[in-house]
Amino acid sequence: MTGPARGPWPFVAGASVQGRDHRMGGRENQDAFGARVCADGQALVLAVSDGAGSRPRSALGSHIAVDSAVRVLGDGMPGADGTDGQWQSWLSGAARAIVDDYLRIAAVASTATPPEPPEELAATLTAAVVCPPWVAFVSVGDSFGAVLTAGPPERCQLVLPPRIDPRGTDFISSPWAKDMLRCLVLRDPQLSGVVLTTDGCATLALDHPTAVGLDPASGPQPSAAFFVGLAAAVRADGGDSEPIHRLLTGEPATRCTDDLTVLCALAA
């Protein structure tokens, strides 16, 4: 993705490619992503969604999820001068409104008879509102998000790690979706980037904690080579999405089984 979506920062880029299993099985890419400039150009909404590979119409579900997120999150935010309490309160209500909006649209598109949930449209969702110095995240499922902080050197932090549940993945179409929402608000005057990815990118973007000298209980750690390196490449290419596409189609990405999607917004 390249185009007019810019908002408070000059570089917004994203790309999505089929994973190995989808290519070999002739299945479509079931991920989706989108961005929207809002608040009179002072803010930007990013969203990525991963359609459930086991569900027949999940590609449509992921597009509905992204459309709902960028529409709902684009309205009513507190703005750069808002307080932490105002942002937290707004985000909590907006996150639940996204689920309601998605279910309203999915019910029309679904073959299920109400009140049965539209499970054939199952998809995860991770979205971010970028309004420097604020960034707010909403997530259902196992996609993840990171922030970059200006240096030198620029640093990355995995603020929304993938949610791993042995019982299975939560979807925005699940009856319990509102109970599984993750909402996070951060304020960082040195904020220089936000990156969202679907879980297919986990082997590329995340390091095992022992690789950086941490205890295994610390959980996955963000790969600086992935996040900071990709940000540098996108900036060097003037905000074009081609560096992301190259990364997602080269080695070792060709060995990733699931679809891969990356969407980022970067300061200069």
Residues 6+ apart with CB under 8 A from 89: none
Mean pLDDT of 199-222: 91
By C-alpha distance, which of 196, 64, 198, 59 is closest to 141?
198
Q: Report the predicted TM-score, pTM, of the whole model to 2 decimal places.
A: 0.94
- pLDDT at 4 > cutoff 60: no
Mean pLDDT of 3-20: 85
What integer best gives the mean pLDDT of the chain? Answer: 92
Q: How far apart (Å, rounded) are the C-alpha atoms in residues 178 and 4? A: 32
- pLDDT at 207 > cutoff 70: yes
- pLDDT at 211 > cutoff 90: no
Q: What is the pLDDT of residues 52-89, one digit of tens each?
A: 877 778 899 999 999 999 999 999 999 999 999 999 99
Instruction: Write the DSSP string, 177-213.
Output: GGGG-EEEEEE-TTEEEEEEE-GGGHHHHEE-GGGGT
By C-alpha distance, which of 176, 62, 53 is closest to 126?
62
Question: Contact, 168 vs 174, CB < 8 A?
Answer: no
- pLDDT at 196 > cutoff 80: yes
**Alpha carbon of 255 to those of 29, 75, 221, 246: distances in Å?**
16, 40, 20, 14
By C-alpha distance, which of 177, 174, 36, 17 is closest to 96?
177
Q: How far apart (Å, rounded) are the C-alpha atoms in residues 185 and 137? A: 6
By C-alpha distance, which of 33, 27, 51 is closest to 194?
33
By percentage, how much of the chain surpasses pLDDT 70? 96
Query: For the chain, which residues make up each domain, given as ranges?
Result: 11-249+259-266
Least confident residue range of 93-97, 114-118, 144-148, 250-254: 114-118
**pLDDT confidence bin for 193, thresholds 50/70/90:** very high
Mean pLDDT of 4-31: 82
Classify residue 159 by its DSSP letter.
Answer: E
Instruction: Determine what percent of the chain falls in helix, strand and coil, rounding each to the nearest 5.
Output: 35, 30, 35
What confidence score (pLDDT) does residue 25 get? 64
**pLDDT confidence bin for 2, thresholds 50/70/90:** low
Q: What is the pLDDT of residues 30-60, one digit of tens each?
A: 999 999 999 999 999 999 999 987 777 889 9
Q: What is the pLDDT of residues 143-160, one digit of tens each?
A: 999 999 999 999 999 999
Q: How far apart (Å, rounded) are the C-alpha atoms in residues 130 and 94? A: 15
Q: Report the Cα–Cα distance between both ends of the chain, in Å, rounded.
A: 18
CATH of 11-249+259-266, one of 3.60.40.10, 3.40.50.150, 1.20.1050.10, 3.20.20.70: 3.60.40.10
Q: How far apart (Å, rounded) are the C-alpha atoms in residues 19 and 14? A: 16
What confidence score (pLDDT) does residue 26 get? 63
Q: How far apart (Å, rounded) are the C-alpha atoms in residues 95 and 98? A: 5
